[in-house]
Amino acid sequence: MGRILIVDDTLFMRTLLKNILFSGGHDIVGEAADGDEAITKYQELKPDLVTMDVVMPKVNGIEALKGIRTFDPNARVVMCTAVGQEQMVKLAIKTGARGYIVKPFQAPKVLEEIKNVLGS
């Protein structure tokens, strides 16, 4: 089970992910509401995995992914985006994302993906 940092600008989505990941036995070590905060929290908490929203104010998810990967090239980041923004997938994967989740999502599949990425 992993120590996870949840990054999303909406409280609702963070709470949902927190519930899903907690039910899967993961430890939620922190939350961030934008990309800037995500980079700071990553450096501070050094989580095993980050779930990263793509569209966020200030620094977006792709930029935050780049920032985190500069600090830790082995960072495991799973991107999370809304339906219709799937064109970001290639960019995110190219930037080093390990997985991609499209909202809305189903808990068992999310847990499966997190487990796969943590095991990779």
Partner 1 sequence: MPVVPVKIQKDGKWEVTKIDLQQDAMMIAEPFGKTIPFKSIVDLEEKKNLLLITLKSDPPVVLKVASVEKVLQALKRVIIMSCNAYRLSAYFMSPAVRGGVMVTNAAWEKGAIAVLKSSIWFVSQNKQVSVGLKEVTGMELTKREVQNKQVDVVKLDHMENTDVVTSYVLCPLSTLQILLNFLKDTTKDLDMGENELDPLSSQVGMLIYSGMDSHAIENMLNISHGEIDKIYDRLLKIGLVEIVYTRREVQLTPKGVRFITEAVKPPT
Question: What does the binding site for partner 1 look like in residue numbers (CB under 8 A)?
Answer: 12, 15-16, 19-20, 84, 86-87, 89-90, 99-110, 112-113
- DSSP-assigned beta bridge partners for residue 1: none
- Residues 52, 7: contact at Cβ < 8 Å? yes
Residue 74 or 106: which CB sits closer to partner 1?
Answer: 106
Spell 17-37 as b/e; 16+ CB within 10 A means b: bbebbeebebebbbbbbbbbb
Closest approach of partner 1 to the CB of residue 118, in Å: 14
Sign of CA pseudo-dihedral 85, 102, 51, 58: positive
Closest approach of partner 1 to the CB of residue 110, in Å: 7
- Residue whose entry in the numeric block shows the structure tokens 């039910």: 23
Residue 56 or 97: which CB sits closer to partner 1?
Answer: 97
Closest approach of partner 1 to the CB of residue 86, in Å: 8
Residue 72 or 86: which CB sits closer to partner 1?
Answer: 86
